A = this chain, B = another copy of it.
Amino acid sequence: MESVFEVIAEPNRRAILSLLAGSQQSVGEIERSLRMPQPAVSKHLRVLRDAGFVESTVDAQRRLYRLKPGPFQEFDEWLAQFRRFWSAHIDALERHLEKMDEPTPRKKIVKNAKAKKGEGK
């Protein structure tokens, strides 16, 4: 589990992060909110902490977990290289660049294909 992408691939971890986005929570609170066995919560928190998503402070026997910004920034930076693409996707400039950038122009250009649209599996 090295990359932030693998860490957030897990639905339960994303749920924990969303929960913590509201406010810091103890392990028990997360456990009850998400109805998830406590060892599972602890283990996911361990992964999240190792990846820098969260940090914990001690309150008696409890551990309060809260978010840390680092990995989210990292994710956002990765997304940046595509943001130009999808935000200005209708832009004419985009099409122009696409055409100019076409690597190996064969005889004909596109033939309009439609890949089948089977979503979900």
Contacts and interface: CB of A to CB of B under 8 A. Distances in A.
A65 B56 CA distance: 44
Q: How many copies does the complex hold?
A: 2
B79 A79 contact: yes
Interface residues on A, range: 35 or more
10 contacts: A22-B101, A24-B102, A29-B104, A49-B115, A50-B121, A58-B110, A60-B106, A69-B87, A72-B79, A75-B79
Interface of A: 1-3, 5-6, 8-9, 11, 14, 17-18, 21-26, 29, 49-50, 52, 55-60, 62, 64, 66-70, 72-73, 75-76, 78-79, 81-83, 85-89, 97-98, 101-104, 106-113, 115, 118-121
